[in-house]
Amino acid sequence: MPLYACPRCHNIFPSPDKPSACPECSHKYPLVASDVEFNTFYTSKLTRLREGHAPAMTMDERNWTLILLFLNKPKMSFYTSHLLRNYVLEATPELCLDTYKGFRWEFTRRVKQDRIALQLEGYKESRLLMRREDGTPLVKGWDSYGPALRLLYSFEATDPHKAPNLGNINRIDLAQIAGAPTEAYRQFLSDWLEAVKDVPSPMGRILPEAKPLLKLMKSDDT
């Protein structure tokens, strides 16, 4: 369903046809939502869904779902739902694990990229970590930490004062999540699919070809 945004109260809402007024403030001229508004709307929706199921997930699953949400932007939902349905939810544990390894490979690549950028800015990560009361790391140059690196720093860990590293990604037991996930985890993925089922395919593209991506995943055996 198309999304609209109100220029007065910034409400973002779905509507099958062009709405005549904003349902919140009755402003007469809602506009078609921009890409940023589109992502904001779905990101908060999916974040709320995840938070609802997170307490009953394992710690690995909670961290892993953060990665999945990070890598699958709402605008690409058409592709994401294809992947989640056929290569995760309805796939054998082996195929599902391959899919997960591809996502892990990609997330690791982005973290490494962010680290290089951070070093070029002249900042160095420390091994020990102090955190503010809201959990934000108290580190020099936090504004220069890229999005993947920031996400890594938001991971749950057994010791919150040890700075996270690639081990926090590699130690996620993907075989366990692929083979014997909790009900809460599977339910989150189903709810995710349900939430984005109306997101249109970009440029009216037909079913995406997932095979090249899988080939890429297969070359990663870690």
Binding site for Zn ion (CB under 5 A): 6, 8-9, 11, 22, 24-25, 27
To Zn ion, the closest distance from the beta carbon of 79 in angstroms equals 31
In total, the chain counts a number of residues equal to 222
Min separation Cβ 26 and Zn ion, Å: 7
Cα three-residue angle 205-208-214, rounded to 5 degrees: 160
Distance CA 49, CA 130 (A): 30
Q: How far is the CB of 149 from Zn ion (least distance, A)?
A: 36
Beta strands in the chain (DSSP E): 3-5, 12-14, 31-32
Residues in CB range of 155: below 8 A, 6 or more apart: 63, 66, 164, 168
Asked whether the beta carbons of 141 and 118 are under 8 A apart, the reply is yes
For Zn ion, the closer of residues 13 and 123 by Cβ is 13
Q: Which is nearer to Zn ion, 6 or 177 (CB)?
A: 6
Nearer to Zn ion, 13 or 105 (CB): 13
Closer CB to Zn ion, 30 or 74, in the complex: 30
**Cα–Cα distance measured from residue 219 to residue 221, given in angstroms and rounded to the nearest whole number:** 6
CB nearer to Zn ion: give 5 or 84. Answer: 5
Least distance from Zn ion to the Cβ atom of residue 40, Å? 15
Q: How far is the CB of 42 from Zn ion (least distance, A)?
A: 19
Q: Which is nearer to Zn ion, 19 or 208 (CB)?
A: 19
Residue-by-residue DSSP string for 64-110: HHHHHHHHS-GGGHHHHHHHHIIIIITS-HHHHHHHHHHHHHHHHHH
The phi and psi torsions of 72 (rounded to 5 degrees) equal -110, 90
Give the separation between CA 98 and CA 220, rounded to whole angstroms.
Answer: 9
* Least distance between Zn ion and beta carbon 10 (Å): 7
